[in-house]
Amino acid sequence: MLTPAERRRALAGGVFSLAGILLFVGLAVFALLTFAGASSSSMTALADPYTLRILSFTLLQAFLSTLLSVALAMPVALALARQRRFFGRIWIIRLMAVPMGLPVLIGALGLLAIWGRRGVVNDTLAWLGLQEPIHIYGLAGILLAHVFFNLPLACRLMLIGLERIPAEYWLVSGNLGMPGLSVFRFVEWPALRRLVPGIAGLIFMLCATSFTLVLILGGGPAATTLEVAIYQSLRFDFAPQRAVSLALMQIVVTAGILGFLALFPAPEDRGIAAGKPVRRLDGRKTAARLWDGAVLSLAVLFLGLPLAAVALAGARADLLKLLGEAIFWRAALTSLSIALGAGLLSVSLAMAITQARAAIAAKRNPARTARLFSATLGATSSLVLLVPPVVLATGWFLLLLPGGDTGMLAPVLVLGINTLMSLPFVIRIVAPAVAAHRIRTARLSASLGLAGWTRLRLIDWPGLKKPLLMALSFAMALSLGDLGAVALFGADGLTTLPWLLYSRLGSYRTADADGLALLLGLICLALTIAGTAGLKIPEERDER
């Protein structure tokens, strides 16, 4: 349904995008490999007890984080699916979306305020006369933070799966009088069982490559992941050999996880659609109401308290003084420019890749090379996940090492790394939107002879505006909150908001850090609101 010119343009766009991505990732990996080849010690470092201990801790914490996130998300998702209508339900679902767009650093601050040594929980425990306060630094803190960020993700994905259960099933189980346990065994669990491996794999991936949370909450060498160890080797110990061997090990680990993930269908996040009205009679029983109420209250407290703590602490900080500082404005401007650049680039790449794949798919019998090209494009987002930001940064760090100065190139590199970092997520928003848009409009546009600029202006932009803006805002929020890439390059020359926050935290200027966290959080919140503004949130129209 494309004119030859359109097809050529789409393919060219795909070729350029793929070449750019491959070059950026390839050069970094090439640098890692040549460095490893040049010094035999990095290969032997792969097996030394230090690296093995880091590897096993990385996998252990990722495993436990995944287990806890999935296990705890399940009752929450079940409760939300069972209780169809109560005041604030839609707000709980929205709260579940917050950690996805929230800069990790802010979440960590909030968690410290609640669970930290002088946080709310420990104060309460001490007041109750308990001697041993909860110790947040180390494995406990990492697990807590990973659950905080991933439980909502798991919960949303499970809820989407549960909402897909045909409405009749609930009527049938009500009519048959199936008790709660039977409903779980025969209806809910079979729906969740198909999703759990994909969700668990995704969370394991996120936790195994987690950087910022471990950097802040990890407890020294005993509780360090590969990503943080890479950073410390480069920035503090200046041991590039070890950094390289750790980076290569990280690639092997992510490759293993991606291979495992490929065995299962990817969890879909299509948003929670209100389809047919769903009657959950099992949710009307008093026992179910009490249980669900308790589960949801706990979940809201667990997720909401740290956020509230950030807002409160931030409001207490001297915001006016912060806003008066030149460094704040410089950091904000840097952050926003990088975020905007990375966001636009990421969305453009995603569009180019999607269009090229569609152009190939539209041909009746695509050539072998075309099919291969399309498959490679499809695998791009996995390729990006294979080389996590800190590894990518390490490669480029080594590449630029001979020149000594990364200062000039640092913003460009951070922008590039942030672009790739958000690409998998952006593709997941853009690709289905473009596919749906094409089904709606392609034949009609072609039959009317709409093409080029006219079609872009009249058909494509109005139809795709919302998902593209949403993808852009999401990519920008991700980039705004990123600490990984900046941490390696961030010298005096390049100060972003998260880096400023982190250094204030490091120099114990906690009030400043609190204020910055609030400001950064507000910027991300504003972005998310702007990005989802026109987007219709399906309101619950159940029980009709």
Partner 1 sequence: MSGDVKTGENGAGIALDGVRLRLGTQDFDFDTVLPAGRIIAVTGTSGSGKTTLLNLLAGFETPERGRILLAGQDVTALHPSERPVSLVFQDNNLFSHLDLFTNIGLGISPRFALSSADRDRISAALARVGLAGFEKRLPPSLSGGERQRAAFARALVRNRPVLLLDEPFAALDPSLRQSMAALLQTLHDDTGNTVLLVTHDPAEVRRLADHALFVSQGRIALSAPVEEFLAHRDIPEVLDFLGS
Q: Give min distance, CB of 264 to partner 1, in A.
A: 17
Q: Does 537 bind partner 1 (CB under 8 A)?
A: no
Say if CB 105 and CB 212 are below 8 A apart: yes
Q: Give min distance, CB of 66 to partner 1, in A.
A: 25
Site for partner 1 (CB under 8 A): which residue of 2, 15, 100, 167? 167
CA distance linking residue 517 with residue 212, whole number of Å: 14
Task: Give 471-513 as a DSSP string.
Answer: HHHHHHHHHHT--HHHHHH-STT---HHHHHHHHHHTT-HHHH
Segment near partner 1 (CB under 8 A); pick from 117-125, 181-189, 419-427, 497-505: 181-189
Q: Which residues of 74-98 are buried (b: 16+ CB within 10 A; e: fewer)?
A: bbbbbbbbbbbeeeebeebbebbbb
Say if CB 207 and CB 218 are below 8 A apart: no
Q: Does 533 bind partner 1 (CB under 8 A)?
A: no
Site for partner 1 (CB under 8 A): which residue of 30, 63, 169, 184? 169
Residue closer to partner 1 by CB (options 190, 493) is 190
Residue closer to partner 1 by CB (options 189, 329) is 189
Site for partner 1 (CB under 8 A): which residue of 125, 171, 308, 401? 171
Which residue stretches of 264-367 are H helix?
286-316, 319-324, 326-362
Which residue stretches of 363-409 are H helix?
368-386, 389-400
Residues 6+ apart with CB under 8 A from 360: 11, 366, 370, 371, 373, 374
Segment near partner 1 (CB under 8 A); pick from 133-141, 166-174, 363-371, 417-425: 166-174
Q: Does 176 bind partner 1 (CB under 8 A)?
A: yes
CA distance linking residue 541 with residue 61, whole number of Å: 41
Q: Does 181 bind partner 1 (CB under 8 A)?
A: yes
Q: Which of residues 276-305 bind partner 1 (CB under 8 A)?
A: 279, 281
Coil vs helix vs strand at 217: helix
Give residue 541's identity as a one-letter amino acid code: R
Q: Does 493 bind partner 1 (CB under 8 A)?
A: no
Q: Give min distance, CB of 281 to partner 1, in A.
A: 6
Query: What is the dihedral angle through the alpha carbons of 230, 231, 235, 239, rounded to the nearest 10 degrees?
Result: 0
Q: Give min distance, CB of 324 to partner 1, in A.
A: 54
Nearest to 122 by CA among 135, 104, 138, 139: 135
Residue closer to partner 1 by CB (options 182, 454) is 182
Residue closer to partner 1 by CB (options 288, 413) is 288
Residue closer to partner 1 by CB (options 170, 489) is 170
CA distances from 310 to 107, 159, 304, 450, 527 (A): 8, 27, 10, 51, 18
Q: Give min distance, CB of 282 to partner 1, in A.
A: 10
Site for partner 1 (CB under 8 A): which residue of 173, 250, 346, 445? 173
Q: Does 182 bind partner 1 (CB under 8 A)?
A: yes
Say if CB 140 and CB 134 are below 8 A apart: yes
CA distance linking residue 301 with residue 367, whole number of Å: 56
Q: Give min distance, CB of 283 to partner 1, in A.
A: 13
The two tokens of residue 354 are: 């999607």
Question: How many other CB atoms are found less than 10 A from the CB of residue 148?
Answer: 24
CA distances from 364 to 11, 75, 367, 369 (A): 16, 47, 10, 14
Q: Which of residues 49-68 bind partner 1 (CB under 8 A)?
A: none
Residue closer to partner 1 by CB (options 6, 542) is 542
CA distance linking residue 196 with residue 91, whole number of Å: 25
Residue closer to partner 1 by CB (options 178, 249) is 178
Q: Which of residues 220-279 bind partner 1 (CB under 8 A)?
A: 279
Q: Does 190 bind partner 1 (CB under 8 A)?
A: yes
Site for partner 1 (CB under 8 A): which residue of 108, 187, 295, 305? 187
The two tokens of residue 218 are: 């990890």
Site for partner 1 (CB under 8 A): which residue of 4, 49, 129, 177? 177
Site for partner 1 (CB under 8 A): which residue of 40, 48, 126, 179? 179
Q: Give min distance, CB of 177 to partner 1, in A.
A: 3
Residue closer to partner 1 by CB (options 137, 264) is 264
Q: Give min distance, CB of 37 to partner 1, in A.
A: 52
Nearest to 223 by CA among 211, 214, 210: 214
Residue closer to partner 1 by CB (options 187, 351) is 187
CA 300 to chain centre: 20
Segment near partner 1 (CB under 8 A); pick from 87-95, 163-171, 264-272, 411-419: 163-171
Task: Give 154-204 as a DSSP string.
Answer: HHHHHHHHHHTS-HHHHHHHHHHT--HHHHIIIIIHHHHHTTHHHHHHHHH
Site for partner 1 (CB under 8 A): which residue of 102, 159, 178, 478? 178
Q: Give min distance, CB of 266 to partner 1, in A.
A: 20
Q: Give min distance, CB of 316 to partner 1, in A.
A: 47
CA distance linking residue 292 with residue 74, whole number of Å: 12
Q: Give min distance, CB of 373 to partner 1, in A.
A: 35
Binding residues for partner 1, how many (CB under 8 A)?
A: 22
If phi over 0 gives left and psi between -120 and 50 gives alpha, with beta otherwise, what is residue 129? left
Q: Does 172 bind partner 1 (CB under 8 A)?
A: yes
Residues that bind partner 1 (CB under 8 A): 166-169, 171-179, 181-182, 185-187, 190, 279, 281, 544
